[in-house]
Amino acid sequence: MRCISLNHDELMIIGCFYEGSKEETILLLEDTMNVLKEVRMDESDDEMIQMLETAIEKLKKMDEATFASLDLQKYLNDLQEDQKND
C-alpha cells in the first residue's frame, strides 16, 4: 500500500466535514465542493475547491484503517485555537 500524505489544511478540512466514516465524509466533501462550484464568488472559493478536490482524491485512495487512524481531533483543536486568537 502506498503512503497517502495529507497536509495540515487537508486534515483540517477533513476534520471539519468528518461524518464518522470515510465514505460519508467523502460524500459531504463532494456535496460541499459542488455547492461551492455553483456559487463561486471569488478566488478564495477556487482555492477551497482545489483543496477539496485534492483531499477527496487522497481519501479515495486511502484504506479504511488508515482513515480511522487519522488524528482529526488535533486539527480541529488547532482550528478552534486559531479562531480564538482572531
**Would 42 be classed as within a structural domain?**
yes
pTM of the model: 0.84
**Would 3 be classed as within a structural domain?**
no
Taking only the tens place, the pLDDT of each residue in 31-67 is 999 999 999 888 889 999 999 999 999 999 999 999 9
Q: Are 16 and 79 in contact (CB under 8 A)?
A: yes
**Would 1 be classed as within a structural domain?**
no
Please give the tally of structural domains in the chain.
Answer: 1
Taking only the tens place, the pLDDT of each residue in 11-30 is 989 999 999 899 999 999 99
Domain that holds residue 34: 8-85
**Would 2 be classed as within a structural domain?**
no
Could you tell me the three cell numbers for 81?
485555537
Q: Are 79 and 37 in contact (CB under 8 A)?
A: no
